[in-house]
């Protein structure tokens, strides 16, 4: 059973840290997992984070606010700095769901935004990639077209639900093709899930937020996302 502790970034944002029992970073690879555009919704990522941590990975889930004046950039980059301090050996994967996904890809394409260092790998979950990334303010497709490629491109894994009506799976298919065209090692895993189901949750319209799902089919689909993240982290 993964253990849990709470920490705080330098900007005062809460960070949930999930790790296998008796194991902490940097003894295990570390994943920084960003939630979507809902303000301070790190709790939404808990089911997925626990599922990843159960496979031998330390997972950090910070709060951030897309409704901040800078779109959340400062808080996202601050949490990245926090994660790097925990992943002292450099085994850091940056992953994100929905609006968090292009934010994660942004720091790989534009490392100068984040101190000139790329993560070891990136995972994007259920996202649209033709909007400005919250970390860079630029569109990922534009960055690729402008030659924003790495000498040794970092691995990219994309996950998208085929039942997603909020962000169609075609967005990830198109982005993967663009990455490959520009020399990036990119894979797409399609799962039988909607937008919320890709992270083991379901949308609660009364609460206007996602909640953990108990539906076995949803949990199994989300478990596929967790496996992709864990395999990416353990493989670096």
Task: Check pLDDT > 70 for residue 148.
Answer: no
Q: How many CB atoms lie within 10 A of CB 236?
A: 14
Give the model's confidence band at 152: pLDDT under 50 very low, under 70 low, under 90 confident, else very high. Answer: low
Cα gap 194→167, rounded to integer Å:
9
Structure-token match 């959340």, residue found:
72
List of residues 6+ apart from 195 with CB closer than 8 A? 98, 126, 161, 164, 165, 166, 167, 203
Q: Domain 3-234 sits in which CATH superfamily?
A: Alpha/Beta hydrolase fold, catalytic domain (3.40.50.1820)
| pLDDT computed for residue 25 by the predictor | 62
pTM: 0.96
| pLDDT computed for residue 87 by the predictor | 86
In the chain, where the domains are located: 3-234
Cα gap 88→132, rounded to integer Å:
30
* pLDDT, tens digit (0-9, with 9 covering 90-100), for 58-89: 999 999 999 999 999 999 999 999 999 988 67
Query: Percentage of residues in the chain with pLDDT exceeding 70?
Result: 96
* pLDDT, tens digit (0-9, with 9 covering 90-100), for 23-36: 766 678 999 999 99
């Amino acid at each position: 059973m993964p253990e849990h502790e709470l920490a705080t970034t330098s900007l005062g944002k809460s960070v949930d840290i999930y790790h296998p029992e008796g194991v902490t970073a940097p003894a295990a690879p570390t994943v920084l997992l960003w939630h979507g555009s809902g303000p301070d919704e790190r709790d939404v990522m808990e089911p997925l984070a626990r599922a990843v941590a159960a496979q031998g990975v330390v997972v950090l889930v910070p709060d951030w606010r897309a409704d901040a004046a800078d779109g959340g950039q400062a808080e996202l980059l601050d949490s990245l700095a926090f994660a790097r301090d925990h992943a002292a050996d450099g085994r850091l994967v940056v992953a994100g769901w929905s609006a968090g996904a292009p934010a994660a890809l942004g720091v790989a394409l534009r490392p100068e935004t984040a101190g000139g260092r790329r993560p070891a790998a990136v995972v994007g979950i259920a996202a649209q990639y033709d909007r400005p990334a919250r970390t860079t303010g630029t569109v990922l497709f534009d960055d690729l077209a402008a030659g924003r490629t790495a000498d040794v491109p970092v691995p990219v894994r994309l996950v998208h639900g085929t039942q997603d009506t909020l962000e169609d799976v075609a967005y990830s298919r198109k982005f993967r093709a663009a990455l490959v065209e520009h020399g990036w090692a990119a894979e797409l895993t399609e799962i039988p899930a909607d937008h919320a189901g890709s992270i083991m949750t379901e949308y609660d319209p009364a609460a206007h937020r996602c909640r953990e799902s108990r539906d076995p089919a949803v949990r199994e689909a989300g478990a596929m996302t967790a496996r992709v993240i864990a395999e990416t982290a353990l493989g670096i």
